[in-house]
Amino acid sequence: MNEIKYEIIEQLGVLSESEKGWKKELNLVSWNEREPKYDLRDWSENHEKMGKGITLTEEEIKKLKLVLNKI
């Protein structure tokens, strides 16, 4: 399996933290040297390990904000 390269461009916020120290974070991340996307996933304390998550384009994050504002 190919190595996944990532760079956290900007840490936007922490939504929660588990007892083991993993944090659910919203970040702007560049995956495999591509244009950064908004990324929501669990990260280990030092950002060396990650859980499954989702990535969103700027257009998608704007639509998500509109949906969340209705709640």
18 domain residue, yes or no: yes
pLDDT tens string 46-65: 999 999 999 999 999 999 99
45 domain residue, yes or no: yes
Q: Mean pLDDT for the chain?
A: 96
How many distinct structural domains can be found in the chain? 1
Vertex 71 angle, CA 55 and 22, to 5°:
45
CB contact at 8 A, 13 and 26: yes
49 domain residue, yes or no: yes
64 domain residue, yes or no: yes
| Residue 41 predicted with pLDDT over 70 | yes
pTM of the model: 0.90
* Domain region containing 26: 6-69
Q: Tell me the CATH number at 14.
A: 2.30.31.70
- pLDDT on residue 65: 96
- pLDDT on residue 1: 65
1 domain residue, yes or no: no
| Residue 3 predicted with pLDDT over 90 | no
